[in-house]
Structure 1
Amino acid sequence: MSFQAYLDTIQEKTGKTPSDFKELAEKRGFTQNGKIHAGVKATQITDWLKQEFKLGHGHAMAIYALLKGKKPD
């Protein structure tokens, strides 16, 4: 599955776009100005995504990669 396919599936499941997740991560204090705060672990972000949005581990990691700066294909 391509990175973009992960993002498309996440959007279908949650109704949230990649931009929405970036905004939500900033509101939760995980990021600032588009960068993940030093000391924020991937597990903190993936646990949030799994709990709040019922994402599986792979899909949560795709959002983490997005927040780290990976661009869609």
Structure 2
Amino acid sequence: MSFQAYLNNIKEKTGKGPEDFKKLAEKKGFTRNGELKPGLKATEIVSWLKEDFELGHGHSMAIYALLKGMKKESSK
């Protein structure tokens, strides 16, 4: 599955897109100025997304990659 397909599926399931998750991560205190806080573990993001949005591990990791800057919305 392509990265864009993950994002599309997440949007379909939650109604939220990448920018929404970036804003929510900032509100939750996971990011500051668009960057993940130092020392933040992927498991913290994954747990949040699983609990609050019922996303699976792979979809949660896609959002983590987006927040970390490892992937962009336009990534394949």
- Please give the TM-score of this superposition, normalised by the length of structure 2: 0.93
Q: What do the CA deviations read for 1:6-64 (whole angstroms, capped 9, x no partner)?
A: 00000000000100000000000000111000011100000000000000000000000
Size of the aligned set, in residue pairs, is: 73
Give percent identity, aligned residues only: 70
What residue ranges of structure 1 are gaps of 5+ in the alignment? Answer: none
Q: Which residue of 1 aligns with 2:72?
A: 71
* Correspondence list, 1:22-61, <5 A: 22-61=22-61
- Please give the TM-score of this superposition, normalised by the length of structure 1: 0.97
Deviation beyond 2 Å, 4+ runs, structure 1: none
What residue ranges of structure 2 are gaps of 5+ in the alignment? Answer: none
RMSD: 0.6
